[in-house]
Amino acid sequence: MFSKDDVTTLGRESLYQGFFNTVRYRLRHALFQGGESAPISREVMLKGQAVAVLPWDPRTERIALVEQFRAGAWAAGDEHPWLLEVVAGMCDQPGEAPEAVARRELAEEAGLVATKLDYLFTYYPSPGGSDERIALFIAEVDLSAVGEFYGAEDEHEDIRLHCFSRHEIPTLEASGRVNNAGTLLSLMSLQRRLSSADPTQIG
């Protein structure tokens, strides 16, 4: 199995500095059949660590999803660029733990407090062109008195909160209304756990 030590960095050039940064790397890497590749160039969007968290109320067996405008979906020509998603955010403070970010984003995007955070796994949503890593969580919350509109005004967030019964999850998935990786993975993980355990004990 190869490791990062099997990649040789030949150069690094900053292409763009903005909300996200883009860098062009020149490198060589080990080949499966032996030796090294010829020098290649790859552009990488540097986004870093992020979190996504699915709010789950085990008492009422309901989940919460946020709806908001997504420029990427709009640029792709999606007819409905307001997407249903799990709560999510970036770890943008030095040394900030994913668990702390999950709790902060729950409060900002959904007005919720987690009584328990259950870590699922971390994955790369687009490793061919981004270094972003997303840590997935399920959060136990109380959805009995949630509001409807949330979001940090200084981040231009305009968010609507929706609650669904766990029994509506298959319909949401089949309809295509949920069409982003973090949400689909979180819902599938919750369903798998609930199919083999007491709904109040997902940890």
Q: Is residue 202 part of a domain?
A: no
Say yes or no: 118 and 27 in one domain: no
Say yes or no: 34 and 117 in one domain: no
Please confirm, yes or no, whether 153 is among the known catalytic residues.
Answer: no
Say yes or no: 159 and 176 in one domain: yes
The structure tokens listed for 75 are: 């640029």
**Structural domain for 15, as ranges:** 4-46
Q: Does residue 203 have a pLDDT over 70?
A: no
Q: What is the pLDDT of residues 7-23, one digit of tens each?
A: 999 999 999 998 889 99
Residue 173, exposed/middle/buried by CB under 10 A (0-12, 13-18, 19+)?
middle
Q: Is residue 86 a contact partner of residue 74, using CB atoms and an 8 Å limit?
A: no
Mean pLDDT confidence for 169-175: 92
Say yes or no: 58 and 27 in one domain: no
Say yes or no: 79 and 18 in one domain: no
Say yes or no: 42 and 62 in one domain: no
Say yes or no: 105 and 167 in one domain: yes
Residue 81's pLDDT band, with cuts at 50, 70 and 90, is very high
Q: Is residue 131 part of a domain?
A: yes
Q: Looking at residue 166, what DSSP letter applies?
A: G
Catalytic option among 155, 157, 168, 173: 155
If one counts the domains in the chain, the total is 2
Q: Where are the alpha helices (DSSP H) in the chain?
A: 71-75, 98-110, 169-175, 181-196
Mean pLDDT confidence for 73-84: 95
Query: What is the rounded CA–CA span in Å between residue 162 and residue 177?
Result: 13
Mean pLDDT confidence for 196-200: 60
For 171, phi then psi, to 5°, come to: -65, -40
Question: pLDDT at position 157, please?
Answer: 78
pTM, two decimal places: 0.88
Mean pLDDT confidence for 81-90: 95
Q: Where are the alpha helices (DSSP H) in 51-176?
A: 71-75, 98-110, 169-175
Say yes or no: 72 and 164 in one domain: yes
Query: What is the rounded CA–CA span in Å between residue 25 and residue 8?
Result: 10
Q: Is residue 203 part of a domain?
A: no
